[in-house]
Amino acid sequence: MTYDDDNIFAKILREEIPSSRVYEDDDTLVFMDIMPRADGHCLVIPKTPCRNILDASEAQLAAVMRTAQKVARAVMVAFDATGVTVQQFNEADGGQEVFHLHFHILPRHADVSLRPPGKTGDMAAIQAHADRIRGALGG
């Protein structure tokens, strides 16, 4: 399979589609999921093209994992979470819907279930959650 540079995350990287950006460095971008399954649900992606973990380079994986750890720690603080779920899907049969490598970071709390997938969240609340994560990251 080849990388499609018209996928939604590639468009977010090029700023052709708006997003609630949380964190950015030379190699990665973090932005809020617009269909959050938990308050603070965000996505970590590499800035360079790759479909998923199956074709990612070691450098892409290392950069994304560094950022995923940093953001996971920040969402724990920002949402006073007692846990964090990190999800990553590969190819359609593995549950992947957007074919640009991405990791979901979801702050978790005891006895609070994830919301069902596929429901667009309240954009004002999503922006407020982004602000909380940025604050926990020190920015």
Cα–Cα distances (Å) from 118 to 34, 36, 61, 68, in that order, read 9, 8, 26, 22
Helices 123-136 and 58-78 pack at an angle, to 10 degrees, of: 100
102 is an active site residue: yes
Q: Which of 41, 100, 102, 129 is catalytic?
A: 102
Interatomic CA distance for residues 79 and 99, integer angstroms: 29
What residues are annotated to the active site?
A: 102
